[in-house]
Amino acid sequence: MFSPASGKCLVLTGALVVISCTPAKPVSANSEPAMKPRPVRVASVRAESIVRTVEASGTLAAQDRVVLAMRVTGRLQDIAVDLGDRVRKGALIASIDPTDLRIAAQQSEAALQQARTRLGLPAQGDDDSVTPAQTPSVRQANAAMAEARLRRDRAQLLFDQKLIPQSENESALANFQIAESRYQDALEEIRNRQALLAQRRAELAMARQQLTYSTLTSPVDGAIAERLVSAGQFVAAGSPVVSIVTIHPLRLRLPVPERSASKVRAGQKVRIRVDQEQAVHFGHVARISPAIEESSRTLLVEAEIPNPAGALKPGAFVRAEILTDTGQNALFVPPSALVTFAGIERVISIANGKAVEKPVRTGFRDEDRLEILEGLAAGDIVILKPGNIAGGQAVTVTKQ
């Protein structure tokens, strides 16, 4: 039986359970042990410059591809280049045997000399000007016509005086008309010879031009992408000999997503990396398509990439970044400060020795820094690797 005065429990005989009781101690409302502040490492929100980019992938291509062919028919005498050779503008590519072309030029030159001689000009010379009235044949025809005119006039005078019969007068008139016609024929002959001389001059120029076509030279700086013939081979006019690609600069075609298209402008820098290489190359946006491609929802952008040493190869796959904004300031925190739960991004700050949760909106991110677009100000403190720290929890900053 329990006695309140003594505070002791008595043992009841015959009972199966023995209960021992002691008086309860009074409980205080603040008796729970206080949690120790959790040590944390922190970092400050920094304002730094940022370069915003638009990322895309593409393939390098030659600026131009030129297929060279001989302009005349003949046997290929020599080919001076092979696959991969770098060539400069004007460099010799191939040549054909010029013997036939040289003979044709000599024939044209002989025909020109003959045409000059027929006009009374020296066989050699570049001046082809001739006064038709001063040529021997025309002067002779002119003299004969003048004599026939005098005879016609004398016969007309004698006929008027009835000193000669009409038949003699008519004969003198006919002889004058014949002489006049011969004079005109002589003039026409000289004009024909002048035209023939001009033709012979043009034929000689063409023959000499054809002779220069016996050699094939490069019209551009570039590299040999394909060799299609061999020395000794007979080639027809227009037959391809080699193809040349211009490798400086290279052309890079980039499909830019529609959402980023408005940020791209001509002249912006382009930074590229070739797969399996660490080197970074730079170029600039040269051309922008005026329309969005409907099937892929992308905007085609062409960049020019300088390649003076030929380190980049046409056809290589590259990853590119178009530098759309440079030199702007933005707020950054270390990436380890960010906590994401259920799609909500937040960081843990400190106020009055306690953790404070702050929702944020992030932007650019790399290995060392994370851009904060909204939610923080420069100089704010954020906890690094907050883990399961909750808002309101006591924290203490440890040394960095």
pLDDT level of residue 327 (50, 70, 90 thresholds): low
Q: pLDDT at position 388, please?
A: 87
Q: pLDDT at position 25, please?
A: 46
Q: What is the CATH number of domain 38-53+330-397?
A: 2.40.420.20
Let me know if 230 is exposed, middle or buried by CB neighbors in 10 A (0-12, 13-18, 19+). exposed
pLDDT level of residue 153 (50, 70, 90 thresholds): very high
- Per-residue pLDDT tens for 58-67? 999 998 999 9
Percentage, residues of the chain above pLDDT 90: 64
Question: For 57-62+246-325, which CATH class?
Answer: mainly beta
In CATH, the architecture of 66-93+218-244 is Beta Barrel (2.40)
For residue 273, CA distances in Å to 213, 252, 379 come to 43, 12, 36
- Per-residue pLDDT tens for 6-41? 444 444 333 333 344 444 444 444 444 557 888 999
- Per-residue pLDDT tens for 353-391? 899 999 999 987 888 889 898 999 998 999 999 988 888
